[in-house]
Structure 1
Amino acid sequence: GKLLRSWHGHDRGAYGALFTADGRHAVTGSGDYTIKLWDLDSFREVRRFEGHSGTVYEIALSADGKRLASVSLDGTARIWDMDTGNQIAEFDPGTGPIYAVAFAADGTLLTGGYDRT
């Protein structure tokens, strides 16, 4: 229950957060529409993932740690390359804000949105 470390790095609140499997990095999604990869030794930003036009609500890593998925109030789900920060794919189902995202073991992407789908 003891706070070990905190740091500030987004202009607005962080909504999604996760650790990489190796425990060396953390990833955060924010109300400032960005996703950031952090080095946990230095607590410095390593990479920034930009493209959403709304709050990034949740993020997920693929089982192999090579892809990052994000969902946003802008109604899109995006897949990113963890090594480069480049966007690989964007999905806009046209159903409104998306709040939840997860990868299945086989790489299938699952999302949940405001429209209850």
Structure 2
Amino acid sequence: MELKDFLGAKIRSRRKEKGLSQAKLAEIVDISAKYLGEVERGEGNITVFKLERIAEALDVRLGKLLDNYELPSPGIMRSELANTIRAADDASIVMLYKMSKAVKITYKVDED
């Protein structure tokens, strides 16, 4: 399963658990209901900022939305992360940095 399909399904599931309609969640997050529907169906490409806002609105840690996703090999992950960082604008770099620090704190990852 593609990451965006997996993530969309997790968002939909959590939204329904919280008793929120797509329209209400979209309003809270300040995105269109159409766009949220696309994200939930795995059709939309979501930014880190919007994903963070959705997670906050659903009262869930951003990392929790990715729990149980089947990951590719570490080599592929390194390559994809490097490509993401190379293509990121300054604001996205700041968000990625904050997320990496949050992961280290949450999972108590030791720095070498």
What interval of TM-score do these two structures reach, taking the shorter chain for normalisation?
under 0.3
Q: Which of the pair is proportionally richer in helix?
A: 2
TM-score, scaled relative to structure 2: 0.25
Answer 1 or 2: higher relative contact order, Cα 8 Å, separation at least 6: 2
